[in-house]
Structure 1
C-alpha cells in the first residue's frame, strides 16, 4: 500500500467533494481525521465520489457478479459488528452535533444508528436494491421523538451525514480486512460507498418529510390548544387573569388593541398571506403581541399598550383585510377591543373589497352598529335615499355634495369652498337631491345624514349595499 497522505493534502485535493456531502467544512477542514487518510485506497474512493452521487437510489449494487458477491461477503462480515459500529458512529455524532448532547437525545441517536447501520449492511449483504428501501418503523418513531424534543431538522440531517461518512470509513476498513488483495478492492469499496451515499440521499429525503409532518402536527396541536385558551378568555365568566396570562404568555391586565386579519383568498395561499401580513404588522408597530390562528383564512391578534395605542399601519402587500379595534384596558378591554375589531372586519367585508385594506373601528363604528342586520340596513338606506342610491357618476357627486353641505353646517358658500366649486353649483345639486329623495334636505336630516354615511362607508353597487359578501 502507498503511504498515507496528510490531512492538509487530502483537504487541498478533495475538500470540495467532502464538503459537498457535508462530511467536512471546506473552509476549516473540520472532519478530516487520521482515520480518513489511513490508506490511499480511500483517496481513490474520494476521487470517484462525484460519479457516485449520480447513482441515485434506484439501482442494484454496481459492478459485475464477482464484485457484487464480494460486496455481499464483506457486508456479511460486518453485520455481527453492527452494535459496535453504531456506538462508534454515535460517539462521533454527539461529539460534532451539539444539540445531540442533550439529556435523553444520545440514547435516541444510538438507537437510530443501530437500526440504520443494521438495515444498510443487511441490504448490502443480501444484495437488496435500494428501491426496496423504506425507513423502519423504529427510525420513523425516533425521528418523531426528536421533533418532540425540539431537535432542529438541520441537526438531524447533519447527524445522518456524519453517520454515513463514518460508515463509509468503516466499510473501507472492512474491504481492507476482508476483501481481495488486488485492484478489485477498489471496485468493491466504490460499490459499497456508492450504495451508502445513495441510501443517505434517500434517507435524508424521507426523514425530512417525516420530520416536517410531525412538526406540522405538533404545530396544529399547539395552535388548537392556544386557540381554545383564547376562546375561554373571551367567553369565560370566571377567568383567572394571572393563570390565563401564564398560559397565553401575554399580560391580560394591561392595555390592548385587538386586530383581526382575514385573507381574501380561500386557497392554499391564504395561510402564507396571513403569515406575511402578521410579519408586516410586526415591523410596522414594532410591538410583539399575542397572535392566534383561527382558521385557514383568519388570525386574531392583540398588541399591548401604550405602544399598541392607535396603531397606524399601511395596507399589507398581500391580499389580506386588517381590522383594528379601539385600545382598551384589562380583561374587559381585551374582549371589547376584539369585538370592535370583528365588527370592523364585518363592515370592511360588506364593501366587497378585492385588494388589501385596513379598517379602524373608530372610523366605521356607526356603520358597524347599524349594519348588524344587513337586510334592515339595506332597507333603511334605500328608504331614505330613494334614487340617490344609484351608482352613476352624477348621483355620486350629488351624494358627496349633500354630505359636504351637512358637514359645513348647511352653508352654501362654505360647502362650495370645501369642494372647490361655485356656490350656485351647490344649490343646483341640492335641488337634484331633493327631487331624488322627495323632500327638502333639511327635513329628517339626522336619518338622511345617517343613510348617506352608511352608503359612503359600506358602499353601493347597482343601487344596493353589497350583499354577496355579507357573512
Structure 2
C-alpha cells in the first residue's frame, strides 16, 4: 500500500468496520462467546467460562475502540484484572492452558467475522485486498501481543503460586519434623502428600556454592523417576538442598546410577505413618551428617550403612573403646585397617575382599597378617564382631 490515497481509504474503512463492531448486534458476538465452550470443557467450571467470555469480548471492543481513534497505530495488548484472577485459579487447578485455548478459539472466530464484515465495507477488489492485507497484519500484531501478555501473566502467576506452595509445604514439613504439628490433616493438605503411607526420606545436596536451582531440581527429578510408588513429596529446603519423601524404597545402587557429579544423596530408613515421616527424615539427616564429616568420598549412602558407626561414635568413651579393641592397629596405615574391615564385611573371605578393594591376593594376605599382629589378641570368634564394628565406625569418622 504505497500510494497515499489507497492508504487513506483503507484507514477510513478500518474505522467504519470498528464502528460497526461496537454498535451492531451481529451474530458474530454469540459465535465468539460459543467458541469458549468449544475450546475446553466448561461444564464443571462456569467461573472460567464467564471470565474468558468476558475477556474475549472486551479484547475485541478494546481493539475496535483503538482503531476508531487511530487505525494507523498498533493497539496495546488488553489487560483485564478479572482474567488475572482466573489465571491464578486455573493454575491452582492445574489447567493454565484453559485461558490461552479460549482466547485462541475466539481469535479465529473474530478474524472470520472481520473478513465477513470487510466484504460488506467495500465491493472494489483493489480496496478489499488492501483492507484485508492491512487489517490482517494489524490484527495479528495485536493478537500476538495479547498472547504474549497472557503467557507472561500465566508464567508470573505460576512462579508465584509455586513459591507460595513451596513455602506452605516447607512450613508444614517443619511443623511435623519439629513435633509441633497441631492438625495432621491440615498438614497433609498443605503438603499434598499422604502421611499414612510408607516413607523413605532422601536428602539431595551439593557442596558447590554456585549450584543452580535448575540443576538441583533436575537431580531431584532423576531420583523421583527411579521410584515406583505414588507421587513423591519434594521440598526445596535450601538453595543447595532438596528434601524428598518416597512411598517406595530405592536402593543405594539404583541412586548411584543416576546421581550426577556435584551432588550427594543421603537415604533414610523405610518407615510408616506420621511418625515414620519424621523419623525417616531424621535418619537421612544423620546420614548426611556422617557423609559431611567423613573422609570417605561416597556420593550415595543409606542410613543402614552408617547406623552402627553413628551410634558408636556418639559414645563419649569411643576412643578408649577403639584403643582397647584394636590396640596398635589404631595407628596402622589406613590400607591395612581397610583390608581387615572389608575382609570382615565380606564374611572373612579374603579373595572377595581383594576383589572389592582391587588388590592382589598376596597383598591382601600381607595386610591381614600385619593387622593380626597389631591387634591386642589374634582375630577370633570372640573379638571378630567388636573389631569389625570399631573398624566400621573409624571408616565413617
Structure 1 unpaired stretches of 5+: 1-62, 389-394, 459-471
- Structure 1 199/79 Cα, relative in aligned 2: closer, same or farther at 3 Å? same
Residues 115-154 of structure 1: matches in 2 within 5 Å?
115-125=58-68, 126-130=70-74, 133-138=76-81, 141-142=84-85, 144-145=87-88, 147-148=90-91, 150=93, 152-154=95-97
For residues 186-211 of structure 1, what are the alpha-carbon distances to aligned partners after superposition, in whole Å with 9 as ceiling and x for unaligned? 21122112221222222212211211
Compute the displacement of 1:84 (Å): 7.4
Secondary structure of the residue aligned to 1:314 is: helix
Compute the displacement of 1:104 (Å): 1.5
2:256 is aligned, of 300, 307, 315, to 315
Compute the displacement of 1:453 (Å): 3.0
Secondary structure of the residue aligned to 1:127 is: coil
2:163 is aligned, of 206, 220, 225, to 220
Verify: 1:186 aligned to 2:129, yes or no. Answer: yes
Verify: 1:363 aligned to 2:305, yes or no. Answer: yes
> Is contact 2:205–2:242 with CA below 8 Å preserved after alignment?
yes
- Structure 1 445/128 Cα, relative in aligned 2: closer, same or farther at 3 Å? farther
2:144 is aligned, of 174, 192, 201, to 201
Residues 174-323 of structure 1: matches in 2 within 5 Å?
174-179=117-122, 181-237=124-180, 239-241=182-184, 244-245=187-188, 248=191, 250-263=193-206, 266-282=211-227, 285-304=228-247, 308=249, 313-315=254-256, 317-319=258-260, 320-323=263-266
Secondary structure of the residue aligned to 2:255 is: coil
Compute the displacement of 1:170 (Å): 1.8
Secondary structure of the residue aligned to 1:135 is: coil
- Structure 1 330/111 Cα, relative in aligned 2: closer, same or farther at 3 Å? closer
Alignment partner, residue 335 of structure 1? 278
Alignment partner, residue 335 of structure 2? 397
Task: Report the aligned-residue RMSD.
Answer: 4.2
Verify: 1:105 aligned to 2:48, yes or no. Answer: yes
Alpha-carbon separation, structure 1, partners of 2:288 and 2:345: 26
Alpha-carbon separation, structure 2, partners of 1:314 and 1:138: 47
Aligned residues: 371
> Is contact 2:229–2:246 with CA below 8 Å preserved after alignment?
no
For residues 134-171 of structure 1, what are the alpha-carbon distances to aligned partners after superposition, in whole Å with 9 as ceiling and x for unaligned? 33243652553453563734332222222121121221
Alpha-carbon separation, structure 1, partners of 2:238 and 2:21: 53
Alpha-carbon separation, structure 2, partners of 1:405 and 1:338: 32
Alignment partner, residue 164 of structure 1? 107
- Which piece of structure 1 moves more, 332-341 or 395-404? 395-404
Compute the displacement of 1:385 (Å): 7.6
Alpha-carbon separation, structure 2, partners of 1:421 and 1:290: 50
Alignment partner, residue 469 of structure 1? none
Secondary structure of the residue aligned to 1:331 is: helix
Structure 2 unpaired stretches of 5+: 1-5, 355-360
Alignment partner, residue 3 of structure 2? none
TM-score, scaled relative to structure 1: 0.64
- Which piece of structure 1 moves more, 112-121 or 289-298? 289-298
